[in-house]
Amino acid sequence: MEGRVVLPELEDTVRVPSVGPLADARERDIERILISEQEIADKLRELGEQITRDYQGREPLLIGVLKGAFMLMADLSRHIRLPVEVDFMAVASYGAATKTSGVVRILKDLDHDLEGRDVLLVEDIVDSGLTLNYLLKNLRGRRPASLEVCALLKKTGIQRVHLDVKYVGFEIPPDFVVGYGLDFAERFRNVPYVGLLRPEAYRDL
Ligand code: IMP
Ligand code: MG
């Protein structure tokens, strides 16, 4: 029909993540999806709205912890309807293994001065909490006006230190996860969902 807008078939627009034999090359070794792309997107919209309300009239400084938080920072910040500034810090924690060492080294420090700023630390995951604990102490020493944390994931019941994480996307079981920024030996960061690895993939490390 003349002038008719042709909508694509719904099936073509919804990507069905494939895990297992049909997986694309980046998904090999992922056993199953724990949190889907859609669930992440919905949650980030919700968190963004909450942050927008909480920081009304202020201009928060978002600090992402590299490398794991790069995707979260990009997606979350787009749901914050306030003027924000963005900065990044890189710390070394895991290396290639799946157990935390508790040793945190700053590999890249911030460009911003934190004094008097409303700082929101953006983290991929709180596992033992040791990395976050260290970072919070370090950042508090720089005298921000306020300091809060937004973490996409928090593993339940295994934090070795008490931590106040104001914005949490999902509480998850204490299993090793990858995707949406999270790596195993630097792989899987570009997987668009959070998934569980096949145990064989990391058992020998
Ligand atoms: P924590 O110090 O034990 O809380 O762990 C801190 C860092 O370890 C996180 O910021 C992640 O980069 C990494 N990490 C912890 N758990 C996982 C996981 O399940 N998958 C991938 N990386 C993780
Ligand atoms: Mg890592």
Helix H segments across 28-129? Answer: 37-54, 70-77
Which region among 7-11, 12-16, 90-94, 111-115 has the lowest average model confidence (pLDDT)?
12-16
Q: CB within 5 A of ion ligand 2: which residues? A: 94, 183
pLDDT surpassing 60 at residue 205: no
Higher pLDDT, 101 or 146: 146
Q: How far is the CA of 93 from the centre of ligand 2 (A)?
A: 7
Structure tokens at 134: 């260290």
Q: How many residues does the chain have?
A: 205
Please indicate whether residue 54 is annotated as part of the active site. no
What's the pLDDT tens digit per position in 114-137?
999 999 999 999 998 988 999 999
Per-residue pLDDT, averaged over 13-33, amounts to 76
pLDDT at 157: 84
Q: pLDDT tens digit string along 31-85? A: 999 999 999 999 999 999 999 999 999 999 999 999 999 999 999 999 999 999 9
In whole angstroms, give the CA distance from residue 205 to residue 196.
16
Query: Ligand 1 atom closest to Cα of 159?
Result: 4
Q: What is the pLDDT of residue 103?
A: 65
Nearest CA to ligand 1 atom 16: 127
78-103 confidence digits (pLDDT tens): 999 999 999 999 988 655 455 555 66
Q: Is the CB of residue 179 less than 8 Å from the CB of residue 194?
A: yes
Q: Does ligand 1 come within 6 angstroms of the Cβ of 133?
A: no
CB distance 33 to 41 below 8 Å: no
Helix (H, G, I), strand (E, B) or coil at 43: helix
Q: Provide, for the chain, the percentages of residues in helix, strand and coil under a 3-state DSSP scheme, each rounded to the nearest 5.
A: 25, 30, 50
Place 11 in a pLDDT band, splitting at 50, 70 and 90. very low
- Whole-number Å distance between alpha carbons of 136 and 134: 6
Q: pLDDT (tens digit, 9 = 90+) per residue, 172-187?
A: 999 999 999 999 999 9
Tell me which of 118, 127, 175, 204 is the catalytic residue.
Answer: 127
Buried b (16+ CB within 10 A) or exposed e, 120-133: bbbbbbbbbbbbbb
The pTM for the full model equals: 0.87
Is the beta carbon of 129 within 6 A of some atom in ligand 1?
yes
How far, in Å, CA of 41 to CA of 36, rounded?
A: 9
Do 13 and 37 form a contact (C-beta atoms < 8 A)? no
